[in-house]
Chain A
């Protein structure tokens, strides 16, 4: 439809940033941004201009907790047909992953979206079908739209949806890392618009830019953040105007409101982040796998979970380390033998670094 590959413009942006002689650290929260940064060498290009950009807790598969994975493993072991996106199925639990459970005869299926999982439920009326609903605000409305259409009674979801602005506030409040500016995720913003980020600029004086995923988008995003800082300003700017509207997708927001309510939830690498989960409202309880299969899951109630030995995914998701700081990276932990989720998911920093730099 259109192309955003303009080398001259890219060089112009880079030389303008370079002239300002800055030393800044930006965070983004999107695997697709990370992919573009590494694939096109923008991370090293910007670093030379005094701008470091790193990925925070911006990969839904990566921030899903060991507890949630264990819940799915138990449901699979107890005879349910369990379904999820491909990457999720490969994340190691304490002893195995959903994929490895297939060898024990468990029915684990990869789906492209929630509608595929509903179709499986329709075709298997005698079986319980559970969909692991992971994802940020981009994915939550797809779950909501399906729940509002009364899927069959043998269908339910293990709800793991999380919201981005609340996690950003948590990471700022933790104060472990200097964040001079935030590059906001383009497709989350497609749904929520720009307003939900405004409190971060107002309360914490953090400049923010919603950016697209082409190299020019990311360079422009960095440039816009640098400009805000140079002028002593902090507000939400939209670089991705060809897709993101200030008000977002109102229909999708309504679907989210109709189906979910805000709750508190732990993110991998983080403590419980207040109001950062989307939980099914009580009128949809029959689709809530945690309620429906309470007896199956009771064994996890008091269980404490720890991260895999030596895995630094938690610190990586808080922006404290890079994949190269982890002794397991590229050695014990590779995409075919992942230890932590950031090496599994194609949106995880480790997987991205490995794909483009280690090969």
Chain B
């Protein structure tokens, strides 16, 4: 139920309430974007047809480094 899938915003509809989202595997689908502040190119998390959060690519890429850092800190 709470499954959410990441995708990239490629185009807004005229009313700006919906956008076309590219899920990277050739799947493109409309999502409602009224619950988030987004621009074209943003990665979003989509649940039940709605974008529920904007993903920060920098944070994502740094995740593993953050984990390694936490694990080594605990040892000290």
B12 close to chain A: CB less than 8 A? no
Q: How far is the CB of A84 from chain B (nearest CB, A)?
A: 11
CB <8 Å contact, A138 and B43: no
Q: How far does the alpha carbon of A109 sit from the alpha carbon of B6 in the complex, in Å? A: 26
> Digit string of B37-76 for contact with A (CB within 8 Å is 1, else 0)?
1000001010111101101110111111011101100100
The answer to whether A32 and B2 touch (CB under 8 A), given A113-B48, A187-B47, is: yes
CB <8 Å contact, A241 and B66: yes
CB <8 Å contact, A142 and B43: no
Give every chain A residue within 8 A of B4 (Cβ-Cβ): 138, 187, 190
Question: Which one of B48, B63, B64 lies within 8 Å of A112 (CB-CB)?
Answer: B48
Give every chain B residue within 8 A of A243 (Cβ-Cβ): 45, 53, 55
The answer to whether A145 and B63 touch (CB under 8 A), given A187-B2, A190-B4, A223-B71, is: no
Question: Which one of A185, A220, A241, A251 lies within 8 Å of B2 (CB-CB)?
Answer: A185
* Closest partner residue, chain A, to B50 (CB atom): A142
* Closest partner residue, chain B, to A115 (CB atom): B49
Q: How far does the alpha carbon of A187 sit from the alpha carbon of B5 in the complex, in Å? A: 10
Q: How far is the CB of A117 from chain B (nearest CB, A)?
A: 10
CB <8 Å contact, B52 and A141: yes
* Closest partner residue, chain A, to B53 (CB atom): A190
* Closest partner residue, chain B, to A138 (CB atom): B2
- Interface set, chain B 28-44, CB cutoff 8 A to A: 32, 34-37, 43
Q: How far is the CB of B13 from chain A (nearest CB, A)?
A: 13
- Interface set, chain A 129-143, CB cutoff 8 A to B: 134-136, 138-139, 141-142
* Closest partner residue, chain A, to B18 (CB atom): A115
> Binding site of B, secondary structure by majority: helix, strand, loop or mixed?
mixed
The answer to whether A116 and B49 touch (CB under 8 A), given A1-B55, A61-B1, is: yes
Give every chain A residue within 8 A of B24 (Cβ-Cβ): 1
Q: How far does the alpha carbon of A238 sit from the alpha carbon of B37 in the complex, in Å? A: 23
CB <8 Å contact, B60 and A59: no
The answer to whether A142 and B48 touch (CB under 8 A), given A16-B71, A30-B2, A347-B1, is: yes
* Closest partner residue, chain A, to B49 (CB atom): A113
Q: How far is the CB of B10 from chain A (nearest CB, A)?
A: 14
Give every chain A residue within 8 A of B70 (Cβ-Cβ): 220, 224
CB <8 Å contact, A4 and B2: no
New contact pairs (8) apart from A243-B45, A249-B36, CB-CB < 8 Å: A16-B71, A60-B2, A115-B32, A139-B2, A142-B47, A187-B47, A191-B52, A244-B53
9 contacts between A and B (CB under 8 A): A30-B2, A85-B1, A138-B1, A142-B50, A187-B47, A216-B67, A242-B62, A242-B63, A347-B3
- Could you list which residues of chain B lie within 8 angstroms of chain A, going by C-beta atoms? 1-4, 6, 24, 32, 34-37, 43, 45, 47-50, 52-53, 55-57, 59-64, 66-68, 70-71, 74
